[in-house]
Structure 1
Amino acid sequence: MTAQAQVQPRAQLPAAAASRWARRAAYAGIAGAAGLAVLLPTGTAGAGWLLAGQVLNVNGNRVYPVRVRAFAGNRITLTRTPDTARSIPLSFVWAGGHARLGDVIAADRATVTREIEAVTRGSLSAGVRGYTSGYVFEGDPHSARGLPFDDVVVQGELGALPAWLVPPPAGPADDTWIIAVHGRGAPRGEALRALPTLAASGHRTLVVSYRNDPDAPPSPDRRFHLGHTEWRDVLSAIDYARSAGARDVILMGWSMGGAAILNLLRHWHHDGFLRGVVLDCPVVDWNATLRMNARQLNVPPAWTWTALRLIQRRLDVRAADLDYRPLADRLDVPTLVYVDHDDRTVAPWPTVEFANAAAEHVTLVETREAGHCRGWNLNPEAYEHRLSTFLKSV
């Protein structure tokens, strides 16, 4: 059955219902790491087209769902959302500004009051609108984490890809490199939370960019490809490391960065050059992830079906290509996988199934109540201990 036959026009929804959908999307944090910012129209058969566009769109509109209700001293009162009420390290980002949030001090049904650890850019006042982020740190390795680094350029197939090259803070570096790959729509700064642990391992760390990043070349169609072309830029980073003297590499990816690494493993015969893999809430199945997001927003299944078919057509892939679970039997290096069972951005159960299928090689770290790519935020010490132990073991 064609998409046109499958999806029937729907009556226009009341404005209140459309508004509820938009609020749910914003409050759920779906504009975050995986970037599935599904702000739906009031209804038509073209909704699937829009939904597919939101998933692949590089230049989506930023949503600012959280308002500052009050700000004084080191305390801020924000709109209550599932995120702002979560007492873990987060950042609050607004147009022109960034602040690190501390513990929750008080909460009621409408607001949450939290400590402010630092305002790192801009100025805060009541009425400012912004969004919460798990990245916490803003800046570069030195300004944010006190680590020395060099700005370098990786030559990708589409042009120059800026990267940070971070040496160990003490002692000479060995000849294993770590290549860190951020998620969809995220900055390189996503790696800043883990970067001190990576640097302390004794390895150089190359924090890379890829096509369609703000400081990197656009793809010809100016769309995200969900890892299906971005993996080539990761391979370019590997080639850079090899040419600079690396004996082997460890790959670490967050969210869609994990999907890019899994796509790389589909295409690259590493011949022993890959030493290990770390995946933090990777997108193991885009089909399951889009369906999960759609269910959370009460999107009609027909719209989701249409969106998935359009994504396949635009990327020239099959539905099976969006699911990496079959790769489990090809995994042949030690792999550390973080997953949170309360991830509302990327479907967690395919990751668990992937890890179980490759149990011979995978160490699975399971958490709850952290959300997407926020295992570090939930418990930095535990996250860093697991990561450090793994890096030493490989």
Structure 2
Amino acid sequence: MTLATAASAVAGYFARVVVTPVKERVEDLEILAVVKGPEGDEVILPATDETVVDGTYGLHFHGGQSFARIGPITSFTPRDGTIARRVEHVVGGDLRTAVRGWWSSVSHLTPEDLGFASEEVRIDLPGGTAPAWYVPSTNPQAPLAGRGVWAIMVHGRGGTRQEGIKALPAAAELGVDSLLISYRNDGEAPAAPDGRYGLGVTEWEDVEAAMQYALDHGAEDILLFGWSMGGAICLQAADRSPLAARIRGLVLTGPVIDWIDVLAYQARALKIPEPVGRMTRWFISNKAGRRVTGLASPVDLKILNWIDRADQLHLRTLILHSIDDHVVPYGPSRDLAQKNPMVTFVPFARARHVKEWNHNPERWDQHVRAWVEALYTRAEPGQIGPEATSSADLDEIEAADDAD
């Protein structure tokens, strides 16, 4: 095999992975033991970049059929490379019999698990009907109660509507109704005809359908919440939907602001040479690459680049993003806020990818509540600065910039 042929094969494989939905999750975390602690069961895990971070997370095991909510760290043994964490709740199996699983930002499987009553509803998407959870506001004293504000929660690549559950406490405090949606290729909604992700270029139509559902059921204003690729989807909905005038603002956590930047970063992380990385992006964005990727239509990566399009974003936008995100680098989120005064950037530290709420729910909730309230008052949502960022966060950002 020639060097050019090998490079093309690698680029083609990487391109297919990017646009192909995840069917099965890899159980890449060893479960070492479950022991009795002073406050109940504790699970012993390898100390990894993910498991050593404080907060509340999910541990899926038995091929995803079982789930455990994992809470605070109870002990850490650096010498052995292990960490113990409290087991808060187990569903569908016995964690003591599990040997492997995967770590997740999903810490609750249903809204009821977090104390919120929900209704299962169906939304008519372009490809068929899809399930969603509707969670009504029940606090008449909340600042936005009775104003017809709905929050539509859009999960990320490889995720499900469960990702939006973490935003429900903030939504309840605000007094807004919530709609946690599924969309094409996520395993709950109908698959796209080509069975491929559009990275936001196609999925926005499903968000538009959810917006129409909300408007048909009493919504006056809409807030779009998006995580990771869900952020890219929300940005496309705000840019392309005829219903965009009904969107009051965007709340994006760990969002993909520029797919070109994300793909280049992931190629470097995989030690893929830059020319091969460029070929990967060419396969995704050109008609000739469809035979390799399986896409029905190429993905225009340029319209997914909101750094170059910063002046075209006309909606108030809040971005919450950890500076150590190892999947979607935070740089474009910061840069967009610097280029567009409509955007507020709130950095987090140590939260990794889309786990900002898991690591520090009080901080996430506080910033979301304050920012959304400001949208409906004379107050002006703040920009990056002391009002949105602690001095410790700024120090870490400056250190990260120096490292770049």
TM-score range for the pair, normalised by the shorter chain length: 0.7 to 0.9
Deviation of residue 390 (structure 1)? 1.7
Give me the TM-score of the superposition, normalised by structure 2.
0.82
Q: Deviations over 1:235-254 (max 9, x none)?
A: 11111112222222111111
Aligned pairs (5 A) from 1:119-138: 119-125=90-96, 128-138=99-109
Conserved 8 A contact 1:258-1:279: yes
**Aligned partners of 1:148 and 1:169 also within 8 Å:** no
Q: Which of the residues 330, 334, 339 maps onto 1:348?
A: 330
The one-letter amino acid paired with 1:392 is E
> Where do 4+ consecutive residues of structure 1 move more than 3 Å?
269-272
Q: Supply the RMSD in Å over aligned alpha carbons.
A: 2.0
CA shift for structure 1 position 258: 0.7
Shift of 1:270: 4.6
Superposed displacement of residue 124, structure 1: 1.3
Deviation at 1:127, TM superposition (A): 5.5
Q: Which residue is 1:141 aligned to?
A: 111
The amino acid across from 2:182 in the alignment is: S
- Identical aligned residues as a percent: 32
Aligned-residue offset at 1:126? 5.8
In the TM superposition, what is the alpha-carbon distance from 1:335 to its structure 2 partner? Answer: 1.8
SS at match of 2:267: helix
**C-alpha contact 1:178 1:251 (8 A) present in aligned 2:** yes
Partner of 1:106: 76
Contact 1:167 / 1:173 at 8 angstroms: preserved in 2?
no
The answer as to 2:49 corresponding to 1:82 is: yes
Partner of 2:31: 68
Q: How many Å apart are 1:222 and its aligned residue?
A: 0.4
- Name the structure 2 match of 1:160: 129
2:235 matched residue in structure 1: 262
Taking the aligned partners of 1:281 and 1:198, their CA distance within structure 2 comes to: 19
Give the SS at the match of 2:237: helix
Distance 1:261 1:9, change over 3 A: same
Amino acid at match of 2:208: L
Q: Take 2:216 and 2:308, find their aligned partners in 1: how far apart are those partners?
A: 32
Partners of 2:269 and 2:100 lie apart in 1 by 24
Aligned partner of 2:180 in structure 1 is 207
CA-to-aligned-CA distance 1:345-379 (integer Å, 9 cap, x gap) = 112111111121112x2221111211111111221
Name the structure 2 match of 1:241: 214
Question: For 1:62-113, what per-residue CA distance to the aligned partner results, in whole angstroms no more than 9, with x for missing partners?
Answer: 2111111111221211123211122222211112211112222113253222
Cα distance in structure 2, aligned partners of 1:65 and 1:271: 40
Q: Quick one: distance in 1 between partners of 2:193 and 2:317?
A: 33
What's the secondary structure of 1:261's corresponding residue? Answer: helix
Q: Would you say the 8 A contact 1:339–1:348 is kept in 2? A: yes
Moved more, 117-126 or 345-354: 117-126
Report if aligned partners of 1:191, 1:207 keep a CA contact under 8 Å in 2: yes
Q: For the residues of structure 1 that align with 2:314 and 2:10, how far apart are their CA atoms? A: 41
- What is the total number of aligned residue pairs between the two structures? 354
After superposition, residues 315-326 of structure 1 pair within 5 angstroms as: 315-326=297-308
| Match status 1:376 vs 2:357 | yes
Match of 2:337, as an amino acid?
A: A
1:84 and 1:370 map into 2 onto residues whose CA distance is 11
Per-residue deviation, 1:260: 0.5
Matched residues in 2 for 1:245 and 1:169: separation?
Answer: 15
Conserved? CA contact 2:22–2:158, under 8 Å: no
Aligned position for 1:17 = none
Offset at 1:385? 0.9
Output the CA distance in 2 between the equivalents of 1:276 and 1:322: 18
Match of 2:86 among 100, 109, 115: 115
Paired with 2:189 and 2:197, the residues of 1 have a C-alpha distance of 13
Tell me which residue corresponds to 1:22.
none
Gaps of 5+ in 1: 11-43
Summarize deviations over 1:156-200 as a string: whole Å, max 9, x none: 111102111111122364312111111111111101111121123
SS at structure 2 position matched to 1:306: helix
Number of the residue aligned with 1:41:
none
**What is the deviation of 1:54?**
1.0
Give 1:266 shift.
2.5
Kept after mapping to 2: 8 A contact 1:251/1:261: yes
Measured against aligned partners, the alpha-carbon deviations of 1:249-294 in whole angstroms (never above 9, x if no partner) come to 1111111111001112221355741211111111011111122122
Q: Is the 8 A contact 1:75 1:113 kept in 2?
A: yes
Structural mapping, 1:260-299, within 5 Å = 260-270=233-243, 272-299=245-272
Q: Distance in 2 between matches of 1:173 and 1:188?
A: 25
Distance in 1, Cα, partners of 2:22 & 2:355: 24
Conserved? CA contact 2:211–2:243, under 8 Å: no
What is the deviation of 1:119? 1.7
Instruction: Give the secondary-structure state (helix, strand or coil) at the position aligned to 2:239.
Output: helix
Cα 1:351–1:287 change in 2 (3 A) is same
TM-superposed deviation, 1:115 = 1.9
Structure 2: gaps (5+ residues): 287-294, 376-404
Distance 2:127 2:243 in 1: 22
1:30 aligned partner: none
Letter in 1 for 2:231: G
- Looking at structure 1, the residues matched to 307 and 242 of structure 2 have their Cα atoms a distance apart, in angstroms, of 18
Residue 191 of structure 1 pairs with residue 160 of structure 2: no
Q: Distance in 2 between matches of 1:218 and 1:182?
A: 16
Secondary structure at 1:103 match in 2: strand
Alpha carbons 1:160, 1:216 under 8 Å: kept: yes
Q: Tell me which amino acid in the other structure corresponds to 1:107.
A: T
Tell me the residue number matched to 1:231. Answer: 204
Structure 1 residue identity aligned to 2:358:
N
Task: Show the counterpart of 1:47.
Answer: 10
In the alignment, the residues of structure 2 paired with residue 271 and residue 101 of structure 1 have an alpha-carbon distance, to the nearest angstrom, of 39
Specify whether residues 318 and 155 from structure 1 end up closer, same or farther in structure 2 by C-alpha distance, changes over 3 A only.
closer
Aligned equivalents of 1:336, 1:323: Cα separation in 2: 17
